Structure formats: C-alpha cells, structure tokens
Amino acid sequence: MATHLIIVESPAKVKTIKKFLGKGYKIEASLGHIRDLPTKELGVTEGEEFLPTYVIIPGKEKVVNKLQKIAAKVGNIYLAPDPDREGEAIAWHIAEVIKQKNSNFLRIQFNEITKRAVLEALNNPRSLDEKLFNSQQARRILDRLVGYKISPLLWKKVQRGLSAGRVQSVALRLLVEREKERYSFQPQEYWVFKALLKKSEYELQADLVKISNKKAKITNEKQASELKDYLAKQQFILHKIEQKQQKRNPKPPFITSTLQQEANIRFNFSASRTMSIAQRLYEGVDLGEKGTIALITYMRTDSVRIAPEAQKLAREWIKKTLGSKYCPPKAKKYKTKSTAQDAHEAIRPVDPTLTPEEIRAYLPADQFKLYKLIWERFIASQMTSATILATIFHIQAGKTLWQTKGEQIAFPGFLKIYSPGKIKENLLPNLTEGTNFNLEKLDIKQKFTQPPARYSEATLVKKMEELGIGRPSTYATIISTLLARKYALLEEKQLIPTELGMSVCDLLIQHFPKLLDVNFTAKMEEELDKIAIGEKDWQEVLREFAKEFYPTLEAAQKEMRSLKNGEQTEIKCSKCGNPMLVKFGKNGPFLACSNYPKCKNTSNFKRTENGEIVLIKPEEQPPKIVGKCPKCGNPVVEKKARTGARFLACSNYPKCNYTASYSTKVPCPEQGCDGELVERSTKKGKIFYACSNYPKCKFAVWNYPVAQKCPKCGFSILVKKESKARGEYLACPVKGCRYWEKIE
C-alpha cells in the first residue's frame, strides 16, 4: 500500500493526529502560511484585473523543499489546514508549490480533532474550494491596497513609519468618537437617597424611587435638604409586598466574539491571548498517559450550532451527574445570527463528559481557565432554566415611595454549573403589609452622571460584531494592531485613543470618508462572504472598490493637510506669546512654538477630561533649600543625580562634601526595621524608593511611598500612581492586594 501524506499547519496538530492513524500516513506541518504577497512591493496588478504575485515567505524555503521532497514519494496528499478561508488559502498555496512533484491533492477538514472526525474526513475528501480561496485573496488584496497606498501618504503628512489599515481604521474611529463624546459630556447633578429602616430586630435598606408618583429626581442641594426635612416627619410603612417568579435562561454556547468578551471580563485576557490559548486547546494538549488530545472544537466561528452527538453526550452527563431535573425534556436549540456563515459549530468541549477537574493537573493555568469556561458554558447551555423568586417591598413615606428587593433561588437549573456574576441570595425579613418602620438613618449622596464609558476589548468586540465589521478570524488582530501602532493604548482595561490615533483618524475621515464608514466596511465584509459562497466574483468586488478608492486617493495626495508643521492650539508660548502647535515626535506628541526656528520653546502637555490641552509643569528651577549642613552650617540643597534620583548636598560644595539621601520620611514597612524609604535610581535611570538600611534591609518599591495603612490588607504604606483612566491615585504595593483610592 502506498504511503499518503497529510499536511497540517502546526506541529501540535501533527502530534494529535498521528496516534489516530497507522503506518500508511506521513504527517507534516507547514508552520502556517508558506506564500504571501511580497513585503517590498505592492505585488498586485492594478487596472482591469487585480492579480496577486505570491512569493515564498522568507525563511519558509526549507519547509517548502521538505514538503516537495516527501510529496514526490507518496500516493495522495491530504491538505488539512484549519476549516476556514485562511486554512483554504494555506492549502491552496501548498498545492501550488508541490503540484510539479505530485498533484493528487485532496482537501480534508475537521471541526474537531478526534479519531472519528479525522477518519471521516479521510473517507470523504473534497477538492480545493476556489471560492473560499478567492474570498481570502480578495480580503488580502483589499487590505494590501489600503495599507500600501495610504501609509506613504501618512509618512509624508504626519510621521514616518505610520500605517493605515482597512478595518482597523474603522475600529479606531469608534474609539475616537467615544472619546469625543466624553470630551463634550456635561455631567448632571443628582442626589441619591437611601433609608436604613428598622422594625424590631429587622433592618433593611430601601432606595427612593418615586416622589408624588413620578420618578424621583433631585437635582440640587436645596431640593435634597427640603426632602430630608420632609422625610424626618414621615412614617415609613410597608405598603405592598410583591412576589415574582423569574426565569433565567442559560446563554448559548460560545462563538468567537462571546468567548473573547467573557475571557476579557473574567480573566482580563486580551482577545489575541484568548485566541492563542484556544488554538492550543483545539490543536491538542499533552494529557500525560492519555497522550495528546484535542479539547475544544474550532475556535473561529460565528455559529451556535451543536453536533447532535455532542448534545446527546452532554444531556446524558447532566442526567447522570446532576439528576434529570437539570436536563430539559427537549434538547435546547439556539438560533445563529442570520448573517453568520453556518459552516462551523459553536465552540464546545470535544468530549462534553471530560470535566475540567479531571485534566486540571495537566494544563497550564491559562489553558485550564479557558477550558473550564468553555466547558461550563456549553454544559449550562444544555441545562434547564433557573427559577428566581423575587420579593419586592414597596414602602411609603408620605408622598415618597421606596423599594427594596430580595432574591432567592427557587431552583438553580444551569446556575449550578455556570453563574456569571454569581447571583447573591438576599432574603427579606418576614414582615406583613402595613408594618411601620423606624427611620434609623438617611443616607444622602450627591452624584453626577458619568460620561459614556470607553471601550474595553470586550465591548469593542461586541460593538464590531453588532456593526458587522470584522469577522471571527479578525477581531483579535484588529485590536492588537491598533495597540501595536500606538493609535490606542490599554489602561485599566480601557482602550484609549492616543493623540496620534485621534489626528490620523480625523485626517482619514476627512479624505477617505467611504473607507472610514462603518456601513461601507460592513458591506465589504458581506461581499467577501458572498465571494466565499460563489454569489459574487472576486475581481468584480475589487474593481468596484478600486473605482471608489483610486480617485479619493489621488485627491487626498493633493489636498491632505500636513500635520508635520503642527496643529494649532489655544495655548500661548510662555516665551514669545505666539500660539503653540501640537507636533508628533519620536517620543510622542509635544507642543512647540509656532515661531520656530526663532523661538525654540517646547513643552509637554496632557488633555483634561474635556479634551482641553494643558501644559505639564516642568520641575521648579531654582534649587530648593532643605536645611542646614551639619558639617559647615551652609544651606543644604536638593540636587539630582545623573541617573535621576534626588539627593541632598551642601551648597558649599566643593569646599564641603556633605551629601545625604533624599528621604521620603516614610518609615520602612519591614517589621523591626528602623530605616526610612529614600529615593534611588537604577543605572538605567529608573527611580525607586529603598530602605535607608540597605543592604541590611532590602525593601524597595517603584513608586513614591506615603505613610498610610492599606485598609484592605493592613500593609503600612501605600504608593502614589497615575494613569489616564484613574488620574492620580494611591495603591497598595502588596502583590495580589488590588486596593486603590483616588487622590482628591
């Protein structure tokens, strides 16, 4: 019998598949793509047709040679990259480079890497699908045209090395528009009233909801204090008890976007980290004596479809392990969004009966967390709904109405396995209607409405999915590209557009309105989907795009204003009074005088919450006198070491050589140590604060310490930090204690 060759992308997949098959198969990995467009030139013909020229990716020659050599000696070649357009393209390129040696290719694909799925695929191979490949090529060429044509324009007009991307620019626009909404946001004052009520030994807290039968709205201090006086004279009465049974349904199993969102919310994983962990789980993980086993189905999908066999296994597991009341009589069905390509299944455990605990010992922490999340979500999706018993006390005090709500789980259903945000049971005391309460305390707080929140990775993925921009295969890359290009930064889980990102976005919106249009981009995604199912010709789609793109490109080349000369601000130069300009330098944006080169004044700046530019004040210039020299009696001044740390020195230097460390006066938190924390800097110029008893005591922190006890863990110091999202704040330096508070 002739030997056959199976080609996959990754060595992990090779290991997983190997043990299913006998000696008749050789399995090799292509290590991802082997061919792509060249990096040094456009690589696409422009005109009536947009035809790509592919080259072997530098460094991949060895792999190609090896595959060619083996191909010449085998019977069939089964191309088995991932089951999507990208995988089809990898298969196509492999076929192209080995067809001279052997052209008996067959394409096989599997949604889960199990023995059954692999054997079934080998028994039902198909030929390569040109439609899927063309859809991938069209995306590649669109992105290439946008990147290669617009980037040089940005180099000329803004800064060298910048680049523009097709879908990323639209995602950036979402971030920028949100930031501008925040700038123009006007906070509204409102007051919140809570009442602590008591009846014999029972205590409860109620929220003010209505005044004179209208939604309670207290907008200033005068109204608040009037209401306070009014309430002091009222009797609080339990006016009505309302009881409701609420059903809570499980969520459908994961698709790419929901998995990325949930892993970001729960574990703070970035979308790309989630995808790379999921890829490992899909390709196979070493489970000791069980060998290498694939744990989840393919992770790039927008379908919630479930294979009937997997559903059957899940239902049996639920009945056997949890009891039949946790398994609905009829299997749950979920509806996939109509725009989705239903080629795949939901992301689910390959073997629903393999619990996370059984394999915990073999998995690195990240893989375990993600498998557990996927497993729980899938099992829960096949379980019965939960029944929550809600009790609401409607309490009246004169013309005001108050509410307090209790929740009790009557039947946990799927919550037994998967409870996002864990429902807190909260029982109300057993009281009857008409009960009178004593008002123990009124809790009155002044509040302000908050501006719309910045996007997190989770909410941006959700938004992109809603708008139809990006696809399961692209969400993660879009976000990581925005961060890598410094168009946005990630702080405290928030995606914040940078000064550069905002300026580039404005320029692109002005000159490429179509390209930056959400609907246009969403329509383009649909066109690519249509190419994949043969409803649209890929060259046709590219031609239509070009008809729009080239004229706008030409106009932009002529008309785009240059930011190299800076953008004017309201700030006046402190030296000559001319307006200052925002310019982009190697180390980010800065302010420079518009009277350059006559005036060379520059300054750093930041933006306020309203988006106004303000200067960051440079350190005080004249030397600070901080005491008398113990050696000679002359003033001691503060100085800066070459590496940046402050220290104290006698002003009579070099006659007197007295020096001392710059002390924060904060006692060292190490038990039994009588040192103080003093400022130091590393050889590379990073400042830190270390114990003055060094080397006897090795305590040190990176941030400026203050002698304030952590209210959470009791550690004796906190440190000062600053971030764009939080402003200035104090944080506990103890690892794992996440305590922080704002500096007012």
- Nearest residue (CB) to Zn ion, 423 versus 734: 734
Min separation Cβ 702 and Zn ion, Å: 16
Mention every residue, 6+ apart, whose C-beta is less than 8 A from residue 483.
489, 490
Min separation Cβ 602 and Zn ion, Å: 9
Which residue in the set 209, 390, 641, 656 belongs to the binding site for Zn ion (CB under 5 A)?
656
- Nearest residue (CB) to Zn ion, 484 versus 743: 743
Mention every residue, 6+ apart, whose C-beta is less than 8 A from residue 364.
none
Which residue in the set 336, 670, 687, 707 belongs to the binding site for Zn ion (CB under 5 A)?
670
SS3 for 602? strand
- Nearest residue (CB) to Zn ion, 429 versus 577: 577
Min separation Cβ 365 and Zn ion, Å: 23
- Nearest residue (CB) to Zn ion, 206 versus 650: 650
Tell me the C-alpha distance between 130 and 149, whole Å: 27
Mask 700-729, x = binds Zn ion (CB under 5 A)?
----------x-xx-x--------------
- Nearest residue (CB) to Zn ion, 434 versus 695: 695
- Nearest residue (CB) to Zn ion, 351 versus 670: 670
SS3 for 462? helix
Task: Give the binding range for Zn ion (CB under 5 A) out of 230-238, 370-378, 472-480, 646-654.
Answer: 646-654
Min separation Cβ 603 and Zn ion, Å: 10
Residues 570-589 that bind Zn ion (CB under 5 A): 573, 575-576
The site for Zn ion, by CB under 5 A, has a size of: 30
- Nearest residue (CB) to Zn ion, 399 versus 712: 712
Residues 279-338 that bind Zn ion (CB under 5 A): none
CA-nearest of 715, 674, 706 to 691 is 674
* Strand ranges (E), 449-479: none
SS3 for 586? coil
Residue 416 · residue 383 · CB < 8 Å: yes
Min separation Cβ 690 and Zn ion, Å: 8
Task: Provide the 8-state DSSP code for 642.
Answer: T
Min separation Cβ 699 and Zn ion, Å: 5
- Nearest residue (CB) to Zn ion, 343 versus 593: 593
Task: Give the binding range for Zn ion (CB under 5 A) out of 323-331, 346-354, 529-537, 623-631.
Answer: 623-631
CA-nearest of 346, 379, 363 to 292 is 363
- Nearest residue (CB) to Zn ion, 267 versus 739: 739
Min separation Cβ 738 and Zn ion, Å: 8
Verify whether residue 334 is a known catalytic residue. no
Tell me the C-alpha distance between 202 and 436, whole Å: 12
Which residue in the set 20, 658, 662, 729 belongs to the binding site for Zn ion (CB under 5 A)?
658
Residues 111-170 that bind Zn ion (CB under 5 A): none
Tell me the C-alpha distance between 636 and 683, whole Å: 25
Task: Give the binding range for Zn ion (CB under 5 A) out of 79-87, 157-165, 429-437, 592-600.
Answer: 592-600
Min separation Cβ 577 and Zn ion, Å: 7
Residue 189 · residue 532 · CB < 8 Å: no
Q: Is the peptide bond before 252 cis (omega within 30 degrees of 0)?
A: no
Tell me the C-alpha distance between 348 and 282, whole Å: 10
Which residue in the set 409, 439, 489, 632 belongs to the binding site for Zn ion (CB under 5 A)?
632
Task: Give the binding range for Zn ion (CB under 5 A) out of 217-225, 476-484, 622-630, 640-648.
Answer: 622-630
The rounded radius of gyration (Å) of the Cα atoms in the chain is 32
- Nearest residue (CB) to Zn ion, 397 versus 677: 677
- Specify whether the backbone of 213 is left (phi greater than 0), alpha (psi in -120 to 50) or beta: left
Task: Give the binding range for Zn ion (CB under 5 A) out of 2-10, 114-122, 215-223, 595-603.
Answer: 595-603
Q: Which of 298, 418, 475, 689 is catalytic?
A: 298
Residue 166 · residue 515 · CB < 8 Å: yes
Residues 538-577 that bind Zn ion (CB under 5 A): 573, 575-576
Tell me the C-alpha distance between 139 and 147, whole Å: 12
Tell me the C-alpha distance between 482 and 166, whole Å: 12
Tokens of 291: 């060998």
Q: Reduce the secondary structure of 57-124 to three states and give it as a string.
A: CCCCHHHHHHHHHHHCCCCCEEECCCCCHHHHHHHHHHHHHHCCCCCCEEECCCCCCCHHHHHHHHHC
- Nearest residue (CB) to Zn ion, 434 versus 654: 654
Tell me the C-alpha distance between 743 and 741, whole Å: 7
Residue 301 · residue 255 · CB < 8 Å: yes
Mask 435-474, x = binds Zn ion (CB under 5 A)?
----------------------------------------
CA dihedral (271, 272, 275, 276) positive or negative: negative
Q: Is 188 exposed, middle or buried (0-12, 13-18, 19+ CB in 10 A)?
A: exposed
CA-nearest of 248, 202, 269, 281 to 380 is 248
- Nearest residue (CB) to Zn ion, 528 versus 719: 719
Min separation Cβ 191 and Zn ion, Å: 32
Q: Are strands 663-667 and 659-661 parallel, antiparallel or unpaired?
A: unpaired
Min separation Cβ 633 and Zn ion, Å: 7
Residue-wise over 636-665: b if at least 16 C-beta within 10 A, else e?
bbebebeeebbbbbbbbeeebebebbbbbe
Q: Are strands 25-29 and 4-8 parallel, antiparallel or unpaired?
A: parallel
Which residue in the set 668, 690, 719, 731 belongs to the binding site for Zn ion (CB under 5 A)?
668
Tell me the C-alpha distance between 518 and 169, whole Å: 10
Which residue in the set 237, 442, 599, 700 belongs to the binding site for Zn ion (CB under 5 A)?
599
Mask 672-701, x = binds Zn ion (CB under 5 A)?
-x-x---------------x-x---x-x--
Which residue in the set 325, 561, 631, 720 belongs to the binding site for Zn ion (CB under 5 A)?
631
Tokens of 206: 């109620």
Min separation Cβ 576 and Zn ion, Å: 3
Min separation Cβ 580 and Zn ion, Å: 8
- Asked if 739 touches Zn ion (CB under 5 A), the answer is yes
Residue 464 · residue 475 · CB < 8 Å: yes
SS3 for 273? helix
Min separation Cβ 649 and Zn ion, Å: 8
Tell me the C-alpha distance between 202 and 208, whole Å: 19
Task: Give the binding range for Zn ion (CB under 5 A) out of 174-182, 615-623, 641-649, 651-659.
Answer: 651-659
Which residue in the set 108, 593, 690, 717 belongs to the binding site for Zn ion (CB under 5 A)?
593
Angle, helix 475-484 to helix 256-267, in steps of 10 degrees: 50
Tell me the C-alpha distance between 274 and 263, whole Å: 7
Mention every residue, 6+ apart, whose C-beta is less than 8 A from residue 722.
728, 729
- Nearest residue (CB) to Zn ion, 451 versus 667: 667
Active-site positions read 298
Interface residues toward Zn ion, by CB under 5 A: 573, 575-576, 593, 595, 599, 601, 629, 631-632, 650, 652, 656, 658, 668, 670, 673, 675, 691, 693, 697, 699, 710, 712-713, 715, 732, 734, 737, 739
